[in-house]
Amino acid sequence: DQQVKQNSPSLSVQEGRISILNCDYTNSMFDYFLWYKKYPAEGPTFLISISSIKDKNEDGRFTVFLNKSAKHLSLHIVPSQPGDSAVYFCAAPWGSGGGADGLTFGKGTHLIIQP
């Protein structure tokens, strides 16, 4: 059973507007979350993370929000740019050893930025 869920396979947003990508999780023991971005024919690249002791983390145009009671996190991209078109994966540590145990990933959301 998938513990990290991204229920939107794709999302289309106009350039300059806000992109909001959502992620839900089932395991209340998760204490750290990551977002990765993936272009075709390349490996995923780390984008931003958040610890469960915070409810928000910001890095430039990217902000991740965490709602622990709802077991929900979201990635906001403002403003959206054409280079943001990619597949975005939400992830959490797979075991109890933090990132050293590997990650469990959502199925991904394909973000398409329209000119």
Partner 1 sequence: DVKVTQSSRYLVKRTGEKVFLECVQDMDHENMFWYRQDPGLGLRLIYFSYDVKMKEKGDIPEGYSVSREKKERFSLILESASTNQTSMYLCATQTGNQPQHFGDGTRLSIL
Q: Which residues bind partner 1 (CB under 8 A)?
A: 6, 9, 34, 36, 41-46, 49, 89, 91, 94, 98-108
- Least Å distance between CB 99 and partner 1? 5
- Least Å distance between CB 101 and partner 1? 7
In DSSP terms, 56 is beta-bridged to 65
Closer to partner 1 by CB, 16 or 98: give it: 98
Task: Give CA–CA dist 58/111, Å, rounded.
Answer: 19
- Least Å distance between CB 102 and partner 1? 4
Closer to partner 1 by CB, 3 or 74: give it: 3
- Least Å distance between CB 33 and partner 1? 11
Closer to partner 1 by CB, 20 or 48: give it: 48
Separation in Å, CA 107 to CA 6, 65, 91, 102: 6, 19, 10, 16
